[in-house]
Amino acid sequence: MAMTFVVVSTWTAIASANIAYRTVALTGNRAPGTNFGVFSDFSAPVMNNLGQVAFHSYLSDTNVVGDNRGIWSEGSGTLAIIAQARPSGGFNAFGTTPLINDAGRTVISAGLIGFNVTPSNDVGIWSKGSGPFQLIAREGDPAPGAVGVSGTGGSVFSNGGLDSPVFNAAGQTAFHGIFHNAFGTRSGIWSESSGTLGLVAQEGDAAPDAGGATFSHFGGIGTSRRVVLNAAGQTAFRAHLEGAGVTDSNNTGIWSEGSGALRLVAREGGLAPDAGGAVFYSFFVNTPVINDAGQTAFHAQLAGSGVDHTNSFGIWSEGSGALRLVAREGGLAPGADGAVFTGVMAQLLINKNGHTAFSGIVENGLSGIWSEGSGTLELVALKGKAAPGVDEGVFDRFDSLAFNSAGQVMFRGFLAGAAVTDSNDRGVWVTDPDGQLHLIVREGDLFDVDDDPLTEELRTVSTISLLGNSGGEDGRPSGFNDAGQAAFLLGFTDGSEGIFVATIPEPASLALLALGGLLTPARRRRV
């Protein structure tokens, strides 16, 4: 028992000091691929499983008026510019966060300017690997497979009709889009899963397993990503119905291609598994989530037998091989001192093992994060509980949750306490493969931005931004990968910014080094 205690205690004490940090880019530094341009303002980075990042940045001192926006990627093995705004013609602006897969291929949404560019064709989606850009879809171009309200073809993507894409390990994209022809305007879901861009579903199509009802629209209002996509090219989405047998109590459902063909996963009015005879009343988020096994998970509200305001919300998952309840209001919240779930459960994610992670609310308004990463649902962090690596504060709330195939979670936590101020109340935490929670970086830290292990350039952290809301297999952008690396954007009190990647050592390896007296200082460190 004594030896076990020493190992665990040693790991807990030294873990944060041995996290390795890598500087990807800093404001004021030369921006690769530009004429005298230097980085001036970053977006939060996205990262693949090789630890390669991609991001949007503005430039200063470019010597070209207006030529101050670009996308950079490490997909080629080194940081390189892959797209730059050109006021004389070409890309004019960049939309959402770029996406990068494990092959180093990057997908961007961008606006165009130049000859023959009009408001009806000035936005598109492109992908790029080692060669030139490949167009995926553009406003004004034919919408493959789409038909108009009369059943006539000739449909094209509409102005403002291309939503943010999702992108998988196979280099395939999917997106929600709006198209029009002489007979009207409709929306649909497109995917490259067949090798070329093809229609998955559109308004007016018969909805599988819906008794003759048809799709009326997809996702929800104001949603940038209304579809998710796994490595097998399978999509999942929420859709509304109209037509035969459709009422206000059964007009929404979740569909997935996880079994190889588009199928209904769950529908309003349908019996909810493990809910004592209750039925699904609504699906109150805009998309489900999916993993590479084609298993989905989603939030829902219940109605019917035994349902009231204390137990109406829950999470269901196909991760066990069949749809089952993961957590429900009124149910015991693991690790929360006997409290039960009492509020909406959000930020739902699923990994390749069919395990879920999510944030939720328990009694007395306490928010927390729970994960099935170990195989059973366990508490990761809870409001009011001690925050590892912080002596003078406790957790207050959470956002930017991410989840990987090893069951590790990453999140941004907000702190409360007598010594907590606006200048040190946020940080990033990551669990290691053994479930231990570690502080990666916190506002107010002195952070060394110099990659040279023999020198230091310390700056005080003032802001932290990162991309969460992905399980790593749903096609959405994430700053967390299967190797347990976290990518994030830091702002500093001197007005500078930087993009960094943190790597946590394997717990077993670190413990052995500690026992053998072989620990060496990390190449980078928080101070």
At 453-477, the pLDDT tens digits run 889 999 999 999 999 989 999 999 9
Question: What total of structural domains would you count in the chain?
Answer: 2
Determine the Cα–Cα distance for residues 25 and 74; give it in Å rounded to an integer.
11
509 or 68: whose pLDDT is higher? Answer: 68
What is the span of the domain harbouring residue 450? 1-19+345-527
Determine the Cα–Cα distance for residues 54 and 12; give it in Å rounded to an integer.
32
In a domain, 152, yes or no: yes
pLDDT value at residue 139? 96
In a domain, 9, yes or no: yes
Instruction: Note whether 362 and 261 are same-domain residues.
Output: no
| Average pLDDT score, the chain | 89
pLDDT 10s digits, 327-377: 999 999 999 999 999 987 789 999 999 999 999 999 988 999 999 999 999
pLDDT value at residue 513? 43
Of the candidates 274, 295, 329, which is a domain's last residue?
329
What lies within 8 Å, CB to CB, of 509 at 6+ separation is: none
**CA–CA–CA angle 360, 303, 377 (5° rounding):** 30
Residue % of the chain over a pLDDT of 70: 89
pLDDT value at residue 514? 43
In a domain, 98, yes or no: no
Q: Residue 142, CB half-sphere, CA atoms under 13 Å: how many?
A: 7
Q: Taking a C-beta distance cutoff of 8 angstroms, is the pair 398, 381 a contact?
A: yes
Q: Which two tokens stand for residue 470?
A: 């992905």
In a domain, 340, yes or no: no
Q: What mean pLDDT do residues 15-25 have?
A: 79
Q: Taking a C-beta distance cutoff of 8 angstroms, is the pair 272, 254 a contact?
A: no
Instruction: Note whether 299 and 397 are same-domain residues.
Output: no
Instruction: Note whether 281 and 363 are same-domain residues.
Output: no
What confidence category does residue 112 fall into, taking pLDDT thresholds of 50, 70 and 90?
Answer: very high
pLDDT 10s digits, 404-428: 999 999 999 999 999 999 999 999 9
What confidence category does residue 17 fall into, taking pLDDT thresholds of 50, 70 and 90?
Answer: very low
Residue % of the chain over a pLDDT of 90: 77
pLDDT value at residue 515? 44
pLDDT value at residue 86? 83
pLDDT value at residue 288? 95
